Structure 1
Amino acid sequence: MDVPISGTVYDTLLNYKGTLAELGEAVHEPPYREPPKAPVLYIKPQNTFTGFGQLIPLPDDVSELEVGASLGVVIGRRSTRVNESDAWDHVAGYTVVNDVSIPHDSLHRPAIREKARDGFCPIGPWVIDRPAVTNPDGLGVRVFVNGQLRQENTTENLIRSVAHLIADVTEFMTLNRGDVLLVGVPEGAPRVEAGDRLRIEIDQVGRLENTVVSEDEWVVGER
Structure 2
Amino acid sequence: MSDLKSTDLLDLSPVIPVVVVDAIDQAVPVARALAEGGVPVVELTLRTPVALDAIRAIAAEVPEVLIGAGTVTTPLLAKEAAAAGAQFLVSPGATPTLLGAMRDTGLPFLPGTATVSEALAVLETGHTAMKFFPAEASGGAKFLGSLPSVLPDARFCPTGGISLATAPSYLSLRNVGCVGGSWLTPADALASGDWDRVTALAAATAALR
**Which one has a larger percent strand, Structure 1 or Structure 2?**
1
Taking structure 2 as the reference length, the TM-score comes to 0.28
Q: Give the structure, 1 or 2, with the largest relative contact order (CA under 8 Å, sep 6 or more).
A: 1
Taking structure 1 as the reference length, the TM-score comes to 0.27
Larger radius of gyration: 1
**Which one has a larger percent helix, Structure 1 or Structure 2?**
2
